[in-house]
Every structure is written in structure tokens, then in C-alpha cells.
Amino acid sequence: MKSLLTPLHSMLTNLKPKIGSPITITVKPLFRTLQLALSLFSTIDNYPKTNQIFDLGLAFDPDTELYTPQAQLTLHFNESFRKLRLSRHFQNELINAEFVETADVGFAQSEGKSGLLFFFSATTRFLLKQIKNSELAILTKISREYCDHVCQNSFIIPYYTVFTLKINGENYHFTLMDNAFLGDIKYKYDLKGSTAGRTSKPNESTMKDNNLDRKFSLGLYRREFGHQLASDIEKLTKWGLLDYSMLIGVFAGDRKNYQIPVIQSIQISETEYISFAIIDILTVYTRRKTLERFFKQFTSDLKQISAQKPQVYGQRFEERMLRVFAK
């Protein structure tokens, strides 16, 4: 992801997301259409259908003085995700305050080939993340079991909703989730439990497995942590998922000063606390992963390659996290 968030109101109107094929709508009108869709969220929240479609019509963009194209909103498995939102005491009114009734929204774009978009809410508490077609297929396939599991205690990041905007014949898929990093952050780590290729570059702010030179003492919470981690890994393995990460933020100060209702946070000293969550779960073992594993074995230790079958990946991930989060 680009290192600096760009305020949406200062973006160039001709900036286009890069998602593999020509895009016919610029980012600003895309977000205006997102705002229109989100403004309806509390009204349509109770719709129980698996895939409920709503016509959004035209939305006026005051920056370009143009109307966005005809758009359709599809809510995927809203009944399941509504159950998750209720279990997490999610308030629909927050969507209006954080995304709709404000111009102070952050924008970022991933640095990879996909060029997927991220929109950060006004207080940066929430994140709208664009996902690929393959990720949407995975999430909708596991949605009922996923929501049932995450409704309970879980380190897996909760997706509050998943929806599709169809604009000019092109589909844009988004999820809404918490931003794990609220507070005075000192360090952040993305851990997969492998070592091959897991060293961050000098210009990257997020460190990886090989950069971690410390452990995090959980004290009496360590036993509970181990049980919950095992439960989450069991589910991720059952769903055939891999390549997920444990995202860890190390913060200065007292965690009581920051209200983080969902992301797990632990005070580890008088001056530091950590927040952590399992993220990026929407990857399955495909032919591409098989090829990646085949070619990387010539340059790396086969056991330390990230691309592993779900059971092997999960076991290695669990063992590594139990070493990182010490007693």
C-alpha cells in the first residue's frame, strides 16, 4: 500500500484504480457512488435475501459537476453478516458519520499488480477494502460458517459486510472492516510463520517475520490465547485457506486511552500495548500456488516457503505464533 494516505478531496479527478483492465470511472465518482450506497445501508440492513440488488440511479459529483453512471448495489449474504454486526454491537449510524457525512476520508492503493483500493473513514477507525473476484467467491462460499465463528471470540478480522457496486458494466467488490492500528503506533509486523522472502524492504513501514527480534509476553492470558488461536486455525484449515497473516501493532501508552471494540489488545508493559488480528484470509491453494511452491524450492528451504497446503500452513503458523506470544 502506498505509504501516505491521500485525502480524497485533494485527489486528481483523472486518477484511476488499476485492477487489470481499463476502468471507465475515476476514483472520486467511484467513492461518491460508494457514499450513496453506504447512505442506504441502515435502511436496507434488514433485507434477508442472499444477494439483494438495489438500483442506485445517478449520483452527482460536486467536484466534477457530473453525474456518476447508473449503478447497482448488491449485498451478499446480508443476513449472515447482519448477525455478525449485531454480535459485535456494530452501529449502522457509524457508517454515515465515518464515510457519508464527511469529506475527510483517506484513500490508498495497493502497490501490487492488482492496484486494489482502500478507503479509510474520517477517524480512520474503519476501512473499506476492495477485493478481487476470487476473494469474493471465497468469502461468499464460507460466509455462513465464517460469520458464525467470528460472532464468537476470534482473532480473525471481522468483515462487517461484503457488497458489489456495478458501474458501467464493471463490478467493484468491497468489504468493510476495522482498522487494526488506532493509537500512537511504534512498530507493526505482518507475520506468516515462514522465513523465505519474509524480510521487509528499507522503504516498507510494516516489518515481516525475519525482522521480528522480540517476543510478546502475555502472562496469564497466554493459555486463553493458545486455545483461541487453535480454534481459529482449525476453521481456516477446514475452509481450505492459507497465506493469512498475524498483524501486530506495538503502541506507546495505555490501551485504555483508545477504544478498540473488536481488535484484541493487551497491555504488555507500563509503556506499551499491542493489538493483533489474523488478516488476509481469502486465499486458497490453487494451481498458481502449486507452481509458486515448485519454483521457489530451488532458491529457498521448501519448509519455509509461504505457499503450503492449508493444513501444513496452519500448523506452521500456529507453532510460530505460540513462540512469538510467550508466557
Angle between helices 222-238 and 310-324 (to 10 degrees): 170
CATH number at residue 69: 3.30.800.10
- Domain co-membership, 233 together with 287: yes
- Domain co-membership, 189 together with 248: yes
- Domain co-membership, 13 together with 117: yes
Q: Which of 178, 210, 225 is the last residue of a domain?
A: 178
Alpha helix segments (H runs only) across the chain: 27-39, 41-44, 78-87, 93-95, 133-150, 222-238, 287-296, 310-324
Q: How many domains does the chain have?
A: 2
Q: Are 120 and 143 in contact (CB under 8 A)?
A: no
**Confidence category of residue 22, pLDDT binned at 50, 70, 90:** very low
Q: Which of 124, 143, 178 is the last residue of a domain?
A: 178
User: Which residue range(s) make up the domain with 156?
Assistant: 8-178
Q: Are 9 and 149 in contact (CB under 8 A)?
A: no
- Domain co-membership, 212 together with 195: yes
- Domain co-membership, 67 together with 127: yes
**Confidence category of residue 265, pLDDT binned at 50, 70, 90:** confident
Q: Name the DSSP class of 169.
A: T
Evaluate whether residue 51 is within a structural domain.
yes
Residue 175 cell numbers, joined: 468489504
Bridge partners for 66 per DSSP: 61
Evaluate whether residue 2 is within a structural domain.
no
Distances, alpha carbon 54 to alpha carbons 51, 162, 166, in Å: 10, 14, 10
- Domain co-membership, 309 together with 240: yes
Evaluate whether residue 219 is within a structural domain.
yes
Evaluate whether residue 276 is within a structural domain.
yes
- The pLDDT, as a whole number, for residue 227 is 97
- Domain co-membership, 100 together with 129: yes
Q: Which of 161, 178, 195 is the last residue of a domain?
A: 178
Would the pLDDT of 301 be above 50?
yes
CATH number at residue 222: 3.30.810.10
- Domain co-membership, 205 together with 305: yes
Count of other CB atoms within 10 angstroms of residue 128:
23
Instruction: Please report the DSSP string for 61-74 in residue order.
Output: ETTTTEEPPPEEEE
- Domain co-membership, 110 together with 94: yes
Evaluate whether residue 122 is within a structural domain.
yes
Evaluate whether residue 73 is within a structural domain.
yes
**pTM for this one?**
0.84
Evaluate whether residue 3 is within a structural domain.
no
- Domain co-membership, 17 together with 163: yes
Cβ-Cβ contacts under 8 Å for 94 (sequence gap 6 or more):
125, 126
82-86, 278-282, 285-289, range with the lowest pLDDT: 285-289
| pLDDT digit string, tens, across residues 143-199 | 999 999 999 889 999 999 999 998 877 899 999 998 877 767 899 999 999 998 899
- Domain co-membership, 156 together with 229: no
Q: Are 307 and 243 in contact (CB under 8 A)?
A: yes
Bridge partners for 117 per DSSP: 109
SS3 for 73-97, per residue? EEEECHHHHHHHHHHCCCCCHHHHH
Q: What is the rounded end-to-end Cα distance, in angstroms, of the chain? A: 33
Nearest by Cα to 189 from 175, 205, 206? 206
- The pLDDT, as a whole number, for residue 66 is 58
Evaluate whether residue 138 is within a structural domain.
yes
Measured between alpha carbons, how far is 84 from 94 in angstroms, rounded to an integer? 16
Residue 269 cell numbers, joined: 508493559
- Domain co-membership, 193 together with 75: no
Q: Are 10 and 111 in contact (CB under 8 A)?
A: no
Measured between alpha carbons, how far is 300 from 78 in angstroms, rounded to an integer? 43
Using the Cα atoms of residue 297, residue 299, residue 301 and residue 303 in order, give the sign of their dihedral.
negative
- The pLDDT, as a whole number, for residue 324 is 97
Residue 162 cell numbers, joined: 461484503
Q: Are 35 and 85 in contact (CB under 8 A)?
A: no
Q: Name the DSSP class of 114.
A: T
